[in-house]
Each structure stands twice: as structure tokens, then as C-alpha cells.
Structure 1
Amino acid sequence: MVLIETFRKLALSLHNVAEEPHFEKTSFRINKKIFATFDGKNNTAVLKLNEIDQSVFCASSEMIFYPVPNKWGKQGWTIVELSKVRPEMFEDALIRSYENVASKKK
């Protein structure tokens, strides 16, 4: 289980991350681009994974990780059930999301 305090601490420990509101959610950004959001109402995160990472996380833990059910999911946006995910697995996915977005050109 990952609490918002843990999520926030992990995200903000990454280089040059900013926390900003995003509609009814909290977003974490690198170079003004979102790599993660937190939805407190549903206790979920959404991470921007590349195709391979999304496939691996979803295949190994399909009740915890699953693509957003629309065109965003096909672009790598992946829902994470924070009440079910192990902290180490979430940290790994969060770092991969950060690296995926940080490596894109500004």
C-alpha cells in the first residue's frame, strides 16, 4: 500500500520535479510535463510508462497496474491501485515514468 505522503515524498525526491494541480488531481511534472498524477477520490496514481514497461507491469500485476481505458492508455498512461501496490514496485514504476518523460525533448 502506498499513501499520498509516500507518493509525494518519492516524486519530489526526483530531480527538478514540481507538484501542481491538474483538474481534480495532483500532478507531478518534470520540464512542465506530467509524469504522474494522484487521484485521492479513487486512491490511484496514473503514470506515463513506455510501451515495454507498461506491458511488463500490467502483465505481472494486472489487478494493480492497467492501462487507462482509452487512447491515453495506448500512449502508455497506466493506472496504479495504490491500496494494492507494494511500495518497492510503485517506486520502480514511478522512476521509470519520470525517466520516460524526462528523456523526451522539451
Structure 2
Amino acid sequence: MTKAVVRAAGLLEVSQIRIAEILGVSSATASRMASGSYQLAEDSKQWELAALFVRLFRSLDAIVGSSDSVAKQWLWSENKALGGIPGELIRTTEGLVRAVHYLDAARGRL
């Protein structure tokens, strides 16, 4: 899961600081995750949040295909349906869950 989060964050250009906020870990822990010297514990709240972040990435990837630029544009642009910029909203658990549900609903329409 840790590798998946780091990879998704890299493709979406989500900073280590933002990943730390999303997962509720320190920025030092996020840095250790990126370097491969720290793994999320499978039974932790951080694992659950990481799974949601990866789900967001996979849903977005399914909608826009392998176009990382379109995915990044969606993540960092105002979204009226979500009431903000998804990349900002996902810093909170509520925002992350709302963004995932939004993308899941959009995927369902395809």
C-alpha cells in the first residue's frame, strides 16, 4: 500500500507534505515512505486513508485513462460539485471520502 500511495502521489504531483496531511502522519514519516524506509501498518487508520487515496487515483485513472496531465488538472482545478479544489479537499478525511464517492459515481455513468 505504501508503494502505491507514493506512486500515485508522484503521478498526481501531490507533495509529501500533502500526503502527510491526507494520511495523518508527520512529514518525516511521509519522507521515509517515499524513500522506502517506512511501511504503513495494515491494521492502521493510515492504511485505510492510504487505501482511499489509491482508490481516488484508480478511479481518476479509469475515467481519464493514462493521461496524467488531465488527472492532475482535475485534481488541482475548482470543482463546483465538490465545492472546492479536490487536491485541497482531500487533506481531510471528509474531503477525501467525498472526492472518492464523486469519482465512483462518475465512473458508474461511463
TM-score by length of 1: 0.35
Higher share in helix? 2
Q: What TM-score, normalized by structure 2, do the two folds share?
A: 0.34
Structure with more of its chain in strand, by fraction = 1
